[in-house]
Structure 1
């Protein structure tokens, strides 16, 4: 059996980005994709899809695209999901990635073998790789709270939601204050008889446009005008309040956290519909008895359908936790990619950041290519990376800035993360070039 250098598990945006960089670096690889297409969550249908009819990007085109392969000029500032899926497909085709992919192949088991990894697939076939890069993402397994077991009315998780026709003529409760929960609550106003939206706390809401520009782009441009973070965020909050995006002004509870401590809720319509009475905001659920929901404020509502927009958990169940306890150790990996226990295993895309995917993946993918080459050559920089990973040193990637919740355990500060990864990648790459030029690279401590 031929053993390839790298196996990439997952053909979504992260897997596509890693594959592009490996190909450019001349490293042989294979993508293992459980479905019939590349594109991951952005597929419009199928077992991997998380898409609903109204879904659009919440990061702007400029901040989401791979800068070395821009989105078409005629794409709007926030492309709908089908356009972004088309873009990912074209990105893959431009690099002939389909030719390097095992489609409709789900990994059943993954075990260390002869310095690499032995993979067993659902159809019984197998493959071996020197290095495995896991790219199947954070949205592996839907989370439904235990209280859902008491429901006798119709009940679905957000992953099952596809269009507003689901809500026609019904009294609908959407549970969850994230971006999907807000999107679905807005959708429900189109066809439902009544819409209730239950959230556990107060949130900071951001419009998708401010001052005629996509908000993320405005935020980045404004940041350069301030000498300290406190003044900048005070300016941002004041601007959003003037634009009508302060939840307290619509009767919602004040957030219990600063605006920079939470993954942004980017939605221009949720407060509009609350202000018009189309959405009735509710606090956390206290009790469910058949089709009647009691909320923490004592109010009760009869509902016909509950949508649980309550998030997801990572699912790497094909890798036995006795081999690597991914559930607990993922947030502790060096650069959120490099585990201490294995030098032939990498994780890409298991993080959140208030940014688009393109440049983030490009940055991680360049690191992966340099890391794999460093491992192949046994370079000094690679050995130092391994020493740091094995020392379990928690590099400051801005984790302390964010709320300590399950939703934010994978959050990183964008700029700190990019600086750190780029620094280490540059060390790996510079030593590689020096070695190729037959010059001895000086040993160096990698500290961002």
Structure 2
């Protein structure tokens, strides 16, 4: 398995019987990491520096599937690069402050190569359960390349790194199946070029929905954005510095409610009253909402000026669809040529992780919902870890990866010391 070369000779474990449905079982060296996105790569890289072997299982055919295959062309990191670096590697100095999608993918591929992370691609994990009698996590993965052959991997440690954005969320709206135009999720949107001259309804007003409306407008389409609930829109920069960076600095000295008040005061001075144009602000402040729900405020990259000018039109929540358009909750009806659901993603952890106590039924980290981010990365002493579920983006995923890898490294060294056979060097 991956990482053995760096770790040196390891004790040879005895084979284990596979669970029902798996054709064979492999007792791997070191932890099993599920997911080869930024979170999984960060854990693997840190384990590599601790000289701990690992096995990464990834269902797609490459690293960072979300960024590679399910993001629009104009996407850039919404935060400055200094807040988006993975552990042990800075962004290249020539990268812009807000790296593009392609810049970020180049960084991730270089990161994987630098730390020798070579995932087992095309392995879709269908089940993971803790075998208390053997003190092992048993992870069943199906390989599409092998005709759906199932293999069970076993290890004392399991790292869940599939992230909060594993599966698309499409709203169930009455009559959507009767709409004659094109309906797609934002994961299938690449550019507004092919929508030129068309009336497009974008359902959702988060960062993706806002930026896709901007892109549609710039390509000559006529975008309408459906807003269901309140949303905080903040300028991406204030006083020549990133809004996020300013907020992080203020939080070191001031309570979160005070920082929210200051952010909203400046936002009103810079942007004006968003409610006049149909974007009602929630009662709670942007950072407080982020802290409680994980939902980020919108950082404006140009859409707001087009909303004020009327080039992007705000409409209410959709009540139902008809053959040629939509009816809104205020009773108005409009015709559209296409509908884009910018309604986000969800975790898929509950569909395959069994016997775990880290996650809720909807795939959220329990500790994150209970506002205990310092504890959310580790399970109840059964070798289970999660990385990338803190609701704090890449910065939070990196911090969780460092904690999880250090904890695993300590347990790995204890296991090696107690096992028969040649010992592993613990040098980095």
Does residue 163 in structure 1 map to residue 183 in structure 2? no
Q: How does 1:213-362 map to 2 (within 5 A)?
A: 213-223=241-251, 227-244=254-271, 246-262=273-289, 263-316=296-349, 319=352, 321=354, 327-328=361-362, 330-333=364-367, 335-340=375-380, 343-353=382-392, 356-357=393-394, 359-362=395-398
User: Secondary structure of the residue that 1:62 maps to in structure 2?
Assistant: helix
RCO (CA 8 Å, sep 6+): is it higher in 1 or 2? Answer: 2
User: Secondary structure of the residue that 2:156 maps to in structure 1?
Assistant: strand
Shift of 1:74: 1.3
Where does residue 181 of structure 2 map in the other structure? 153
Q: Is the 8 A contact 1:206 1:268 kept in 2?
A: no
Task: Check 1:218–1:190 CA distance in 2 against 1; reply closer, same or farther (3 A cut).
Answer: same
Q: How does 1:38-77 map to 2 (within 5 A)?
A: 38-43=63-68, 49-66=69-86, 68-77=88-97
Does residue 371 in structure 1 map to residue 411 in structure 2? no
Deviation track 1:89-147 (CA, whole Å, cap 9, x = no partner) reads: 1111111112xx21222223333342212333323233222211111111122111111
Deviation track 1:205-262 (CA, whole Å, cap 9, x = no partner) reads: 11222212222123334456x6544443322212111111541243533434323333
Task: Check 1:326–1:235 CA distance in 2 against 1; reply closer, same or farther (3 A cut).
Answer: closer
Once residues 56 and 63 of structure 2 are traced to their aligned partners in structure 1, the CA distance between those partners, rounded to angstroms, is 9
Shift of 1:329: 6.9
User: Secondary structure of the residue that 2:377 maps to in structure 1?
Assistant: coil
Once residues 329 and 387 of structure 2 are traced to their aligned partners in structure 1, the CA distance between those partners, rounded to angstroms, is 39
User: Secondary structure of the residue that 1:327 maps to in structure 2?
Assistant: coil
Where does residue 130 of structure 2 map in the other structure? 112
User: Secondary structure of the residue that 2:319 maps to in structure 1?
Assistant: strand
Deviates more, 1:73-82 or 1:249-258: 249-258
Pick from 214, 225, 234 the counterpart of residue 186 of structure 1. 214
Once residues 319 and 128 of structure 2 are traced to their aligned partners in structure 1, the CA distance between those partners, rounded to angstroms, is 42
User: Secondary structure of the residue that 1:189 maps to in structure 2?
Assistant: helix
Task: Check 1:19–1:248 CA distance in 2 against 1; reply closer, same or farther (3 A cut).
Answer: same
Shift of 1:306: 0.5
State the TM-score, normalized to the length of structure 1: 0.75
Q: Is the 8 A contact 1:171 1:192 kept in 2?
A: no
Q: Is the 8 A contact 2:192 2:221 kept in 1?
A: no
Where does residue 15 of structure 2 map in the other structure? none
Unaligned regions of 5+ residues in structure 2, if any? 1-25, 144-148, 290-295, 416-425
Task: Check 1:193–1:373 CA distance in 2 against 1; reply closer, same or farther (3 A cut).
Answer: closer
Shift of 1:176: 0.6
Shift of 1:337: 2.4
Once residues 89 and 272 of structure 2 are traced to their aligned partners in structure 1, the CA distance between those partners, rounded to angstroms, is 34
Q: How does 1:93-112 map to 2 (within 5 A)?
A: 93-98=113-118, 101-112=119-130
Deviates more, 1:6-15 or 1:114-123: 114-123
Where does residue 413 of structure 1 map in the other structure? none
